[in-house]
Amino acid sequence: MSWHDKLWMWGYTQEEIGIPIPFTGSSKSFCSLESAARYFGMNNTVFMNSMHSLERMEENLAFVKDSKQVLCGLPHGEANALAGAETISRMSLKFPNIKGIVLDDFLQLSGHPTTPELVRSIRGKLRSSNPELEIFAVMYSDLNHLDITPYLDLIDGIMLWRWVSTDHFWRAEFSPLLHRFKANYGKKLFHGVYLQNYGEYSSSAHPVDFELWKLQWMKVLTSLRGKYAFLDGCVLLQNGWVGNPEFRDHAVWLKDTLEWFCETTTERE
């Protein structure tokens, strides 16, 4: 496996360029999901178009046909989620790089209600055409969640995020958090990094502090390799900011850093 196979780009494919996309406020996006993934050398994508609409899904999935692996966002609401899971299952037969779904905002007390019974039904629909598809649940280490234990037999992976990023978290709490999640739950474990400072500025364009940005990535990349490699992958959110001049320095630094990381980490069989 290439180190690039552990890297995921989260976002939206765009049939029309130069328009706002979800969660970017009034900022116009000139960089579709597949372009951002290619720029950073990320072999995998998290395709979130399907969380908002199942229309023109085939046309938009075609843009990420070269991704090695694709996870599709699932619509919210019981009826939409079940229909979405079944549709994604069928789509995976035409697009075999689809490997599963993402349950966004999973188990948040302030988020979308998701019972074990619903997840079991979603899993059944998801595997109706392809029994190999997996479920990844999004969770935040600094927000209140319900207990994940009743769901462990129903999900395959956990995607962790930090909504409000701090120096203290990344230096003191991040590594023990990963160790605890891996030891307690035994699931595939990804951690995400925000390019936009959503925790403090919502969707009003404002990059994460540059020094904090660098610290986050060094901690995440360190956790992908070595004795304490508790992460199975990392995720960058999202493509809509990548072509924005306000985020240029962050994007250029990350591209160089990922190239450095992947090219200086020797792989052995």
Residue 268 lies in a domain: no
pLDDT in tens, 84-115: 999 999 999 999 999 999 999 887 655 667 88
The answer to whether 221 and 261 are in contact (CB under 8 A) is yes
pLDDT of residue 108: 63
pLDDT of residue 269: 75
Q: Which range of residues forms the domain containing residue 8?
A: 3-263
Instruction: Provide the number of structural domains found in the chain.
Output: 1
| 267 — pLDDT class (breaks 50, 70, 90) | confident
pLDDT of residue 85: 97
Beta strand pairing call for 157-161 and 188-194: parallel
Helix (H, G, I), strand (E, B) or coil at 60: helix
pLDDT of residue 136: 97
The answer to whether 182 and 189 are in contact (CB under 8 A) is yes
Q: State the DSSP code for 29.
A: B
* Averaged pLDDT for residues 28-39: 98
Q: Could you tell me the CATH number of the domain that includes residue 103?
A: 3.20.20.60
- What is the rounded average pLDDT for all residues in the chain? 95
What is the token pair recorded at 217? Answer: 């990535």
Q: Return phi, psi of residue 137, to 5°.
A: -110, 130
Report the chain's terminal Cα–Cα distance, integer Å: 9
Residue 40 lies in a domain: yes
| 18 — pLDDT class (breaks 50, 70, 90) | very high
Residue 269 lies in a domain: no
pLDDT in tens, 159-181: 999 999 999 999 999 999 999 99
pLDDT of residue 111: 60
| 1 — pLDDT class (breaks 50, 70, 90) | confident
* Averaged pLDDT for residues 62-78: 96
